[in-house]
Amino acid sequence: MKLTEIPSPPPVYLGIEAGATKCVAILAESFKHCLSRLELAEPGNLRLLSDVQLRGLLDRIARQVPRPAAVGIGMAGALNEGDRERIRQAAASIWPGVPCWAGHDLATALAAAGDATHSPSPIRIIVICGTGASCYGQRADGGEVLTGGWGHLLGDGGSGYDIAMRGMQAVFRALDLTGKWPNLGQRLLRKLELDAPAALVAWVGSADKPAIAALAVEMFAAAAARDPIAREILNEAAALVAGHSLACAKRLARKGKRVEFMLTGSVLQKQPGFARQVSQEIRAGWPTADVKLLEREGAWGAVELARRQPAMPNVAQPTAAAVAAVPGVATADEWIPRSNGLSPTEQRHPLSRKLDRMSLAAAIRLMLGEDASLPAALLKEQRKIARAVELIVSALRGGGRLIYVGAGTSGRLAALDAYECPPTFSVAPETVQAIVAGGEQAMHGAREDAEDDFAGGADALRQRGVSSKDVVIGIAASGRTPFVWGALQAAFDLGAPTVLVCFNPNLVFGRGRQPTLVIAPAIGPEVLTGSTRLKAGTATKLLLNMFTTLAMVQLGKVVENLMVDVYPTNAKLRERAIRIVQELTGAPRPAAAAALEQYDWSIQQALPSLKK
């Protein structure tokens, strides 16, 4: 009997691209077949990471994927052999015995374009313009040139950071010259929710590079609205990016040779008008140029460079089948519950089908009527709400924390509640925290894509050092937001009690996948279909109000109905503190004020002195 040999499944490779604002990891069988993709909303510039931080970054990726056959790692700031060796050593501590290609993110981006042997141009240049900006080119004989990439203090001309900084400098220059705050300045203040130019000065002094670079979006929006300052800055930025590209080409080839320029980075990928302008300037300076957008993200180039590494002898290579069978590697499909039918948050409200034709008076009555129905719906969840408060009190009494997790409106409301706790109850800022999908950028603008990042939610939760002492509350109107569920899964693994707040009573949880507590009030569809900032948002605010307020009452931070732990930081609050002390002790105003001043305006300490 002749035995038929069964071919071995192909090995899997891990490609990592670490940039100025985020890190992307792709696990793949080949250059085409992706098995999984992770995105970490944290910077990966090698120059800004200690060895411990570098290993921590790679470890967070390793915990979410099986052992690969080889690893490719491209990092911003990896400019020399010493940098590459740092990366290799860190990778060896995380994946012992696994071959590793290490280099800068420009090389991985160039490799993402595919095999150079199939390119019609013998010389290829990658042009990156995102938070930072730089160019990297290669000849077929292996010669290479890097221009830019010196960081935001010494380079990055034309980058998102550079565009934003030029914009802020320009509006203050206009203020000095004309005495008037220009429209662009007003736009920037609105974006940052600041009230005066002086506040912008304070903000930029403490903002990090990604936060400043994020303002470039406002520069492009202003230019589209024909703002003259913004348009001038973007013209200068396009000239800078094109100039670096042409300088790179001149160092690689003689004029007239065909050169392929591939554009990538968030600014070039998300601003097509700017990309066209850069392309036109490159072609004007190099008529034989072939300019196009890079079709694949740089992490794919890291996969390809990993694939080219020779296999280590006597080391079994993982396969795609093994990936699916690896225990402990959580996936969104395993954890996110299914819904028996469409979530109420996505259903159409029968009374608002003619909302576009209703009179304003009728629409107002309808909206207020819907909001008025919320307390009754929440009251049906009274026991669960009380249990949630008990979990919070238990965590805080034991030295733990309350960690909210949410995306969009849910995340912003969670952040609002967390921000209010320190001044209201004199708790440390870390006592009540909020993790918002998309991070700080999502607080001031939409980051709808971030809510789909299951792995990002898990990683964000782990970075807070969550333990069994903490309590984690995930907020998701539909109950199925991947980012929130990634965080809940991580909390489950770390032994922390979990609460899911949602407005979908139709959820069905997998075995062993249900949170400690599920609060799912039946509030029905929104007046505006799917707009969960309406009833779902209002109901969320009511629930969060009860969670923290009643927990603080249980912790002794309230006497009668008075905030005895509020810290008076302004005249209004100092007056309130005096009234509270008077109310609770019967002391005259001068004695109450004197006691508060004696104890640095601590109501809790002033009260016993007057009662004696």
- Residue 447: per-residue pLDDT: 62
**Beta strands per DSSP E along 480-543:** 498-501, 507-508, 517-519
Backbone angles phi, psi at 162, to 5 degrees: -65, -40
> How far is Cα 210 from Cα 522, in angstroms, rounded to an integer?
40
Report residue 221 as tokens.
């929006």
- Widest distance between CA atoms in the chain: 105
> How far is Cα 263 from Cα 6, in angstroms, rounded to an integer?
43
> How far is Cα 548 from Cα 42, in angstroms, rounded to an integer?
29
Report residue 218 as tokens.
């406002």
207: left (phi over 0), alpha (psi -120 to 50) or beta: beta
- Residue 1: per-residue pLDDT: 45
- 0.75 surpassed by pTM: no
Examine the residue annotation and report whether 451 is marked as an active-site residue of this protein.
yes
Question: In this structure, which amino acid lies at residue 514?
Answer: Q
Backbone angles phi, psi at 406, to 5 degrees: -160, 170
Query: What is the third-level CATH fold of 13-112+299-325?
Result: Nucleotidyltransferase; domain 5 (3.30.420)
Pairing between β-strand 34-40 and β-strand 23-28 as defined by DSSP bridges: antiparallel
Same fold, 13-112+299-325 and 117-294: yes
Examine the residue annotation and report whether 193 is marked as an active-site residue of this protein.
no
Of the candidates 144, 236, 420, 440, the residue annotated as catalytic is: 420
- Residue 327: per-residue pLDDT: 41
- From the list 121, 132, 124, the residue with the least C-alpha distance to 79 is 132
Question: Crossing angle for the helix pair 51-62 and 454-463, nearest 10 degrees?
Answer: 140
> How far is Cα 403 from Cα 423, in angstroms, rounded to an integer?
18
Domain extents for the chain? 13-112+299-325, 117-294, 332-554, 559-611
Decide: 422 and 437 in contact? Cβ < 8 Å. no
The domain 117-294: what is its CATH number? 3.30.420.40
DSSP letter string over 386-450? HHHHHHHHHHHHTT--EEEEE-HHHHHHHHHHHHHHHHHH---TTTEEEEETTTHHHHHS--GGG
- Give the residues across from 263 on adjacent strands: 127, 293
Spans in the chain with pLDDT lower than 70: 1-9, 30-32, 115-122, 140-142, 149, 151-152, 311-331, 441, 444-449, 611-612
What is the CB-side half-sphere exposure of residue 321 using CA atoms within 13 A? 4
SS3 labels along 315-380? CCCCEHHHHHHCCCCCCHHHHCCEECCCCHHHCCCHHHCCHHHCCHHHHHHHHHHHHHCHHHHHHC
Q: What is the pLDDT of residues 191-228, one digit of tens each?
A: 888 888 888 998 988 888 888 888 999 999 999 999 99
Decide: 521 and 381 in contact? Cβ < 8 Å. yes
Of the candidates 42, 281, 381, 451, the residue annotated as catalytic is: 451
Question: How is residue 117 annotated by DSSP?
Answer: G
Compute the CA torsion angle 340, 343, 347, 350 (nearest 10 deg).
Answer: 80
Considering only the top CATH level, what class is 332-554? alpha beta
> How far is Cα 268 from Cα 41, in angstroms, rounded to an integer?
20
**Which overall architecture, per CATH, does domain 559-611 show?**
Orthogonal Bundle (1.10)
Q: Which helix (H) or strand (E) holds 454?
A: helix 454-463
| Structural Rg of the chain based on CA atoms | 28
